[in-house]
């Protein structure tokens, strides 16, 4: 008896799903798109992308979605197309029962701006490059190198993580420069000096030395006393006077 009931429940469930699917299909054919509702996430004061730009992307792919039945709108194709924009990290499109085509957009967040010979671009949290925007310029740490390499990306990731997690360093360090040997020079916000970080080894110890020197050294003698602060040597900070 129990087995028979299970079969009955199963058949009823399948029938209900088929009915709902058929009903949904019929409803989609009856609903016309009457508006485009675009929401762009601007957390972190990001303004690379606007709702108007996203709407233009949609209309570039299709002459117009307005007035079309939901059944005639290829939502997946549209979503893939919007996601090709270089400043968009993720776009989600869906159709609402009130006739709106809804678009939720998350922008790519830059963590650094790179200056590489004659070109410049941003790097996101995955250290992946994306182009600058005519609409908006992000205030992020600057990076200078001759070319992007896998090794430099790995080094930069570790250095940026340490700077991001330290309030003092985040406020003080404004730029990093890689030389031909992948040694790093840092440029501070306060003080007219260069900070020689050297190879990306024992970086945490070097940053701790720098913070101690700032607190107990430069605050006493002045921020412009030295032209170079060298952190390359173990257990010491070597400075060059002006």
Last residue of a domain, one of 107, 128, 163: 107
CA 29 to chain centre: 38
Report whether 106 contacts 88 (CB < 8 A).
yes
Length, in residues, of the chain:
242
**What pLDDT is stored for residue 14 in this prediction?**
43
Tell me the two tokens of residue 143: 């990076």
Report the predicted TM-score, pTM, of the whole model to 2 decimal places: 0.81
Last residue of a domain, one of 75, 107, 139: 107
Last residue of a domain, one of 84, 107, 130: 107
Query: What's the whole-number mean pLDDT along residues 75-99?
Result: 94
DSSP secondary structure of 214-236: IIIIIHHH-TTSEEEEE--STT-
The DSSP 8-state label assigned to residue 125 in this structure reads T
Query: Three-state SS for 78?
Result: helix
More confident residue, 195 or 214: 195
CA angle 99, 94, 64 (to 5 degrees): 60
CATH number at residue 45: 3.10.20.310
Same domain, 153 and 99: no
> Which residues lie closer than 8 Å to 242 by C-beta, 6 or more apart?
224, 225, 226, 227
More confident residue, 134 or 19: 134
CA distances from 96 to 12, 60, 92 (A): 28, 22, 13
Same domain, 99 and 121: no
Same domain, 233 and 129: yes
C-alpha closest to that of 208 among 152, 219, 176, 216: 216
The H-assigned helical ranges of 31-149 are: 51-61, 75-82
pLDDT digits (tens, 9 = 90+) for 139-156: 999 999 999 999 999 999
Q: Return the bridge partners of 32, or none.
A: 69
Domain range for 164: 110-241
Same domain, 119 and 100: no
Tell me the two tokens of residue 6: 């299970």
In a domain, 132, yes or no: yes
> Which residues lie closer than 8 Å to 79 by C-beta, 6 or more apart?
91, 92, 93
In a domain, 188, yes or no: yes
For residue 52, the tally of other CB atoms under 10 A from its CB is 10
In a domain, 191, yes or no: yes
Same domain, 177 and 125: yes
- What is the percent of the chain with per-residue pLDDT over 70, rounded to a whole number? 87
**What pLDDT is stored for residue 26 in this prediction?**
44
Same domain, 163 and 215: yes
pLDDT digits (tens, 9 = 90+) for 96-122: 989 999 999 999 999 999 999 999 999
**What pLDDT is stored for residue 28 in this prediction?**
57
Query: What's the whole-number mean pLDDT along residues 122-145?
Result: 95
CATH number at residue 200: 3.40.50.11690
**What pLDDT is stored for residue 29 in this prediction?**
64
**What pLDDT is stored for residue 64 in this prediction?**
82
Give the C-alpha separation, 96 to 64, whole Å: 17
- What is the percent of the chain with per-residue pLDDT over 90, rounded to a whole number? 69
What is the chain's Cα-based Rg? 28
pLDDT averaged over every residue in the chain: 87
pLDDT digits (tens, 9 = 90+) for 216-241: 877 777 777 889 999 998 888 898 88
Same domain, 88 and 76: yes
Same domain, 90 and 168: no
């Amino acid at each position: 008896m129990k087995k028979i009931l299970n079969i009955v429940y199963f058949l009823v469930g399948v029938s209900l799903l088929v009915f709902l699917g058929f009903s949904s299909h019929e409803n989609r054919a009856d609903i016309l798109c009457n508006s485009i509702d675009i929401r762009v996430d601007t957390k972190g004061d990001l303004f690379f992308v606007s709702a108007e730009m996203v709407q233009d992307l949609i209309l570039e792919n299709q002459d117009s979605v307005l007035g079309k039945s939901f059944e005639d709108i290829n939502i997946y194709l549209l979503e893939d197309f919007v996601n090709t924009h270089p400043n968009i990290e993720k776009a989600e499109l869906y159709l609402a029962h009130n006739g709106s085509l809804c678009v939720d957009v998350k922008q790519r967040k830059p963590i650094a701006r790179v200056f590489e010979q004659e070109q410049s671009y941003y790097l996101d949290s995955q250290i992946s490059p994306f182009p600058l925007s005519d609409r908006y310029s992000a205030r992020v740490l600057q990076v200078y190198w001759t070319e992007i390499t896998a090794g430099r990306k790995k080094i930069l990731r570790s250095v940026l993580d340490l700077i991001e997690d330290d309030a003092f360093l985040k406020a003080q360090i404004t730029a990093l420069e890689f030389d031909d040997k992948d040694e790093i020079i840092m440029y501070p916000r306060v003080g007219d000096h260069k900070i020689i970080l050297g190879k990306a080894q024992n970086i945490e110890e070097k940053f701790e030395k720098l913070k101690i020197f700032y607190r107990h050294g430069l605050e006493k003698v002045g921020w412009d006393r030295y032209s170079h602060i060298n952190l390359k040597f173990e257990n010491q900070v070597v400075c060059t006077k002006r």
